A and B are shown apart, each in its own frame.
Chain A
């Protein structure tokens, strides 16, 4: 396989936003590429509308959890969570946030923001805000310029996972891919 890929991404939101769903997509994408994957999730009481966070690791890791200042990337589905999870990001890391405004993660980094709640309403798929945020991150991974982020998978990889996941359920499959692409197209020049 490729030279040792090692990436840690923290995915943060609240119960019901689909944090676990996009974590699962990234994990499937990693497995499809023959990479080792390790994720850690929130279950139980905290899922009832409370803060939900998942730790996602691809590559050779023994520990399921990301330590503070170690995450390569941050996907934030609820911008209020930045106060809680912003400091997981390492120096030089990237962040993509669901927010109507630009969001400063720390003094050196302003996150890419996408108003995924609004965009999801516009494409008549209000629950797909998670895919929109992921879409934007994938767009940055596809860049060649300075705002490029290092992500182990591409838009095509995640689309492939969605296609397999939803199989013959065409309506939900197409709606999901549309949401992912809507986020992807949000990246302005």
Chain B
């Protein structure tokens, strides 16, 4: 390998590079960990090489999927990327697209998060591929993920079928030195050939398409470039191991380290569905016992028909829950190989919990919400502001957009009670666009008495500050159209709308109280809490007004600010005679919000 051409690439960057080197012409996405960096990297290479690609952050995963899909109907190679729960949102077009098939190559990247590290579920997208009846590829490393992009496009075009590539967090968020390849210069013709019988198929034709889909899958189960590989060719034994994804990578190192590399036949499956038919026959004919290790569900395992010989999740040999860490795998492999087992796992104390950043405007909003509706029910949503949990200002988190529909549900449940709780929903700006709008329309129609606080920090913060429809900037930094949140809320039919800066707690708390009062009698009230994300501002080189604060002698160490404001810059000193709070000068952003937090007025402006 030459030194100069290797670059350190994040798994998601490797995926992006693989797409571009395969001639991808349209790339769409909605941000979500661990998939977020894929589209950003496509945009980076696009800018670097001045490529004529359409790259966009869509309003949600369903729209992202459909925009890309139309692109492949014209013959272009396209890609849509998302996290696994995003695929739930895009599952409607996915199921249908599997029947209709594709013309240009269509690659769907759905990144799973075993653990989960940053997700609501540990669901396995490969099972979604099986459900939709499309093939899925399962890379073990950034390097393989890049290689698989070209293979996925070839497969997609060979059988006119959408192809899923399913990386996991450990692939997306590892970095590896990777050789860059050439980017094709030729441009494909864009040509949408009308064929309503196929592209707008009625149920009668859908039956026929379903039959064709099954034929495609049968053929793909024989497709050579994605067939399973025996990695230790010379090994012979009566028992074998099958693995896919990053589990296969762990096993490679473990078998070598335990010096049993040549003792146990080890197969890597790159295409877990459809599992190659010859491979299934060969495994069942050859081996008495087969161990299958994969994340997070038994997709390969369930296609190996023999329950007696196959050890995996269904036999409780491999855990069904949680990430398969290399130490867990080592234990399973050691037991399977009949080696003396050691205890590898370590019990560690819990990690430090994540918290809203110092100076985060959400903290001010949550503090005000608790003041305005102290006994309220607080529904919330997916984003940084889920961390309002730490402040006791978030009671529910279900999925994108549910803050609003759950607020409605709580309202209806309590409707006939004498004492009805105030309900305050919080949702971020990006999440509101993504899935909040239909729920708000529903709440207006049903006259739901609740306050919706839209936490408008001008960005999709949790996933790395991607733009929202209100930003006016696209994935490559190009200017885009703008949708104004206030106008959108008005358009949904809400009559009470206020916009305010949460940093100004003195005004913000009374405003929220007014909204709560309104909601009790009149239906939905919306407060748009506007202040930019501190991380985003820092990245843009902006700075706000600086209000340096110090702690006066009035502090008696009651801990109110620690419990109710929970700013990481506030340090509690639990000294026997001198309990007090101080401010960490490195973490403090001088937002000045805490000036209005202490009941004793101990936070004062530094002179």
Contacts and interface: CB of A to CB of B under 8 A. Distances in A.
Interface of A: 14-16, 24, 27-28, 30-32, 34, 36-51, 61-65, 67-69, 80, 83-85, 87-88, 126-127
A63 B175 contact: no
Contacts of B6: 31
A98 B158 CA distance: 56
A55 to B, nearest CB: 8
Listed from nearest, the 4 A-B pairs whose CB atoms lie closest are A44-B118, A44-B33, A50-B354, A51-B351
Nearest to B463: A44
Interface string B253-266: 11000000000000
A53 B585 CA distance: 24
B272 to A, nearest CB: 18
A100 to B, nearest CB: 15
Given A24-B8, A50-B354, A68-B345, A43 B175 contact: no
Nearest to B3: A34
27 contacts: A27-B175, A30-B177, A31-B6, A36-B176, A37-B176, A40-B170, A40-B173, A40-B174, A42-B117, A43-B118, A45-B384, A46-B118, A46-B354, A47-B354, A48-B384, A49-B354, A49-B355, A50-B354, A62-B252, A63-B250, A64-B170, A64-B176, A65-B250, A67-B327, A67-B330, A69-B344, A127-B586
Contacts of B354: 15, 45-50
Given A27-B8, A62-B140, A67-B330, A50 B355 contact: yes
Which label, helix, strand, loop or mixed, suits the secondary structure of the B interface?
A: loop
Given A62-B141, A63-B250, A39 B175 contact: yes
Given A64-B170, A68-B345, 7 more contacts: A27-B177, A48-B384, A49-B355, A49-B357, A50-B354, A67-B327, A83-B349
B352 interface: yes
B449 interface: no
A48 to B, nearest CB: 4
B602 to A, nearest CB: 24
B348 interface: yes
B387 interface: yes
A64 B246 contact: yes
B53 interface: no
Nearest to A46: B354
B194 interface: no
Contact of A37 (B117, B173, B177, B346): B177
A65 B326 contact: yes
Interface string B340-383: 00001110110111111100000000000000000000000000
B89 interface: no
B34 interface: yes
Interface string B1-35: 10100111000000000000000000000000110
A146 to B, nearest CB: 28
B532 interface: no
Contacts, number: 132
A144 to B, nearest CB: 29
Contacts of A69: 344
A41 B169 CA distance: 9
A62 B249 contact: yes
Given A39-B174, A62-B140, A85 B357 contact: no
B118 A45 contact: yes
Interface in B301-358: 325-327, 330, 344-346, 348-349, 351-357
B259 to A, nearest CB: 16
Contacts of A65: 170, 250, 325-326
Contacts of A37: 8, 175-177
B485 interface: no
Contacts of A41: 173-175
B476 interface: no
Contacts of A63: 246, 249-250, 252-254, 326
Contacts of B356: 48-49
A63 B247 CA distance: 8
B583 interface: no
B177 A36 contact: yes
A54 B176 CA distance: 13
B346 A68 contact: yes
Nearest to A28: B8
A36 B8 CA distance: 10
Contacts of B348: 83-85, 87
B568 interface: yes
A35 B30 CA distance: 35
A64 B463 contact: no
A69 B170 CA distance: 20
Interface string B161-193: 000000000100111110000000000000000
B209 interface: no
Contact of A48 (B7, B176, B246, B387): B387
A85 B174 CA distance: 19
B136 to A, nearest CB: 21
B462 interface: yes
A65 B247 CA distance: 11
A51 B352 contact: yes
Contact of B326 (A15, A47, A67, A126): A67
A120 B500 CA distance: 39
Contacts of B326: 63, 65, 67
Contacts of A51: 351-352
Given A62-B141, A63-B250, A63-B326, A45 B33 contact: yes
